[in-house]
């Protein structure tokens, strides 16, 4: 059972009210453009886009302590699994919505925070319900339940008509699936008793399809689903399965490639069948693999190890300022810990994705 803090009311101060009125004016102007800017960004997924929701639940999958956040505003560890900004922050900034996407479970959300979007993501979650259960984090269905609660709060702030506009026109970003393969299927026996790898991937893709349809029926229309990275090239997977030389493990990468291929086809199918939808699969695998295999082309010096500790296995609690060495300049590293990228690597990756897909402006 996940222990989530009880009811959190939005802080509706005079300042947030003024900002709120300003945002309405900006959105009204945007509505007259050919491709209006989304009024909000709403995020679901795992640790790649969790800005601190796991801080508020009983789980070991947390990072609200140094050195996490060492290059964030105020050098503060917020619960983001990186040294600084994460992809949801960067996307919100690219869209001109705001600089940071807050965690929905954060206790100090303002009215402005709510109407411009939040993240429901929970580190170590996945399309497979078992993935979140193993790590005692918020499942994707649990994140949807929070979204239903969120919709009521937005309606209370701006009224039914405006709330419907925000929900229908917001940018929805979904980033998950990696943990299903890396933390559930390969290292534990539970799913391998039931499925061979192709069958398990089919199961997770169908789970993803069902999830997208649930989100659609709750009002989402602009939905971007990010595929799995080259899992076999993550420092932790190099350590676990890459042998003495810590090469990229081909089995993990092949699994990610198969998952991405099926996920892409299913998103295309949904986009063609759900009326007035804009559902797009985003390939993270290939651009990130290029960064990992050719780090010097992007100004990096290290792509096989993370900045934290030895960089080969440290993540979450094992990556801490008390027992591990921290590299001096994280911008020289592709990876922050053994699983997540540095802010600079995320910025380069998200810029490449925005150039290729246009992200949400369509």
Gap between the Cα atoms of 97 and 150, Å rounded = 18
**Can you state the angle between helices 285-293 and 343-357, rounded to 10 degrees?**
130
Q: Which residues pair with 48 in a beta bridge?
A: none
- Cβ contact 84:342 at 8 Å: yes
Is 128 tagged catalytic? no
Please say whether the dihedral angle defined by the alpha carbons of residues 102, 104, 105 and 110, taken in this order, is positive or negative. positive
Is 340 tagged catalytic? yes
- For the chain, the 3-state helix, strand and coil shares in percent, each to the nearest 5, are 45, 10, 45
Residue 103: C-alpha distances to residues 43, 161, 204, 225, 349 (Å)? 9, 25, 25, 19, 22
Please say whether the dihedral angle defined by the alpha carbons of residues 128, 132, 135 and 136, taken in this order, is positive or negative. negative
Is 337 tagged catalytic? yes
Residue in 71, 125, 303, 340 annotated catalytic: 340
Residue in 47, 125, 132, 236 annotated catalytic: 47
**Can you state the angle between helices 197-217 and 140-158, rounded to 10 degrees?**
10
SS3 (DSSP) at 143: helix
Please say whether the dihedral angle defined by the alpha carbons of residues 171, 69, 110 and 176, taken in this order, is positive or negative. positive
Active site residues: 47, 337, 340
């Amino acid at each position: 059972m996940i222990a989530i803090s009880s009811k959190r009311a939005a802080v509706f101060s005079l300042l947030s009210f003024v900002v709120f009125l300003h945002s309405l004016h900006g959105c009204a102007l945007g509505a007259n453009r050919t491709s209006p800017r989304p009024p909000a960004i709403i995020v679901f997924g795992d640790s790649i886009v969790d800005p601190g929701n796991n801080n508020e639940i009983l789980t070991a999958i947390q990072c609200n302590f140094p050195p996490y956040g060492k290059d964030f505003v105020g050098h503060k560890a917020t619960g983001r699994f990186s040294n600084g900004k994460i992809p949801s922050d960067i996307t919100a900034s690219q869209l001109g919505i705001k600089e940071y996407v807050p965690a929905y479970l954060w206790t100090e959300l303002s009215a402005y925070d709510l109407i411009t979007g939040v993240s429901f993501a929970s580190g170590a979650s996945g399309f497979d319900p078992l993935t979140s259960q193993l790590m005692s984090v918020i499942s994707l269905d649990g994140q949807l339940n929070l979204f239903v609660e969120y919709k009521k709060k937005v309606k209370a702030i701006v009224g039914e008509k405006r709330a419907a506009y925000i929900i229908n026109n917001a940018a929805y970003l979904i980033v998950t699936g990696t943990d299903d393969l890396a933390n559930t299927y390969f290292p534990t026996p539970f799913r391998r008793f039931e499925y061979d790898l192709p069958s398990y991937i089919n199961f997770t893709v169908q789970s993803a399809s069902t999830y997208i349809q649930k989100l659609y029926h709750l009002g989402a229309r602009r939905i971007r689903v990010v595929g799995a990275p080259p899992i076999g090239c993550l420092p932790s997977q190099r350590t676990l399965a890459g042998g003495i030389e810590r090469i990229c493990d081909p089995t993990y990468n092949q699994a990610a490639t198969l998952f991405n291929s099926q996920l892409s086809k299913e998103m295309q199918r949904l986009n063609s069948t759900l009326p007035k939808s804009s559902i797009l699969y985003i390939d993270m695998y290939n651009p990130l693999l290029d960064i990992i295999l050719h780090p010097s082309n992007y100004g990096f010096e290290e792509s096989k190890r993370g900045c934290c500790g030895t960089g080969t296995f440290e993540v979450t609690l094992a990556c801490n300022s008390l027992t591990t060495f921290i590299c001096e300049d994280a911008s020289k590293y592709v990876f922050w810990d053994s699983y997540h990228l540095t802010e600079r690597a995320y910025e380069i990756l998200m810029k490449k994705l925005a150039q290729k897909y246009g992200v949400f402006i369509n």
